[in-house]
Chain A
Amino acid sequence: MLVIKNIDVFYGNVHAVKKVSLHVDQGEIVALIGGNGAGKTTLLSTVSGLIRARSGEVIFDGSQITRQKPEKIVSSGISQVPERRLVFKPLSVEDNLLLGSYHRYSFGKSKAIAGDIDDIYAMFPVLGQRKDQPAGTLSGGEQQMLAIGRALMAKPRLLLLDEPSMGLAPAVSQMIFRHIGKLRDELGVTVLLVEQNARSALKISDRGYVLETGRVIVQGTSQELAQNNDVQRAYLGRDASD
Chain B
Amino acid sequence: MDLGSFLQYLISGLTIGSTYGLTALGFTIIFNATRVINFAQGEFVMMGGMLSVFFLSAMGAGLFPAIVLAVTCTTLAGVVMERLVIRPVQGANVINIILITIGVSIFIRGLVMLFLGKDTFALPPFMGTESLNFFGATIIPQSLWILTITMFVLVGLRIFFNKTIFGKAMLACSFEQKAAHLVGISVDRMVMLSFAISALVGSIGGVILAPITMTSYDVGILLGLKGFAACILGGLGNPFGAAAGGLIIGVLEALGAGYISSAFKDAFAFIILLAILFVKPSGIFGKAEIERV
Indicate, yes or no, whether A interacts with B: yes
Chain B: interface residue count, which band? Answer: 20 to 34
Q: Are the C-beta atoms of B184 and A88 separated by less than 8 Å?
A: no
Q: Are the C-beta atoms of B171 and A70 separated by less than 8 Å?
A: no
User: With a CB–CB cut-off of 8 A, which chain A residues contact B184?
Assistant: 70-71, 74-75, 102-103, 154
Within 8 A of A (CB), among B179-199: 179-186
- Does B87 make an interface contact (CB < 8 A)? no
Q: Are the C-beta atoms of A99 and B181 separated by less than 8 Å?
A: no
Complex Cα distance A75/B186, Å? Answer: 12
- Does B172 make an interface contact (CB < 8 A)? yes
- Does B168 make an interface contact (CB < 8 A)? yes
Q: Report A130 CB to chain B, min CB distance, Å.
A: 12
Within 8 A of A (CB), among B262-293: 289-293
Please pick, from B179, B186, B291, B293, the residue contacting A86 in the complex, using a CB distance under 8 A.
Answer: B179
Complex Cα distance A89/B180, Å? Answer: 12
Give 1 or 0 for each of B167-182: 1 = CB within 8 Å of chain A CB: 0110110011011111
- List the count of A-B residue pairs having beta carbons below 8 Å apart: 86
- Does B165 make an interface contact (CB < 8 A)? yes
Q: Report B165 CB to chain A, min CB distance, Å.
A: 5
Please pick, from B179, B289, B292, the residue contacting A82 in the complex, using a CB distance under 8 A.
Answer: B179
Give 1 or 0 for each of A112-141: 1 = CB within 8 Å of chain B CB: 000000000000000000000010111110
Q: Report A117 CB to chain B, min CB distance, Å.
A: 13
- Does A17 make an interface contact (CB < 8 A)? no
Q: Are the C-beta atoms of B185 and A136 separated by less than 8 Å?
A: no
User: With a CB–CB cut-off of 8 A, which chain B residues contact A28?
Assistant: none
Q: Are the C-beta atoms of A136 and B176 separated by less than 8 Å?
A: no
- Does A87 make an interface contact (CB < 8 A)? yes
Q: Which of A32-40, A54-62, A90-98 contacts B (4 or more CB under 8 A)?
A: A90-98
Q: Are the C-beta atoms of A88 and B186 separated by less than 8 Å?
A: no
A-B contact sample (18 more), CB < 8 A, given A90-B289, A91-B171, A154-B184: A74-B184, A79-B183, A86-B182, A87-B176, A87-B179, A88-B176, A89-B289, A91-B172, A98-B165, A98-B168, A99-B165, A99-B168, A100-B183, A102-B185, A103-B184, A137-B290, A139-B292, A140-B293
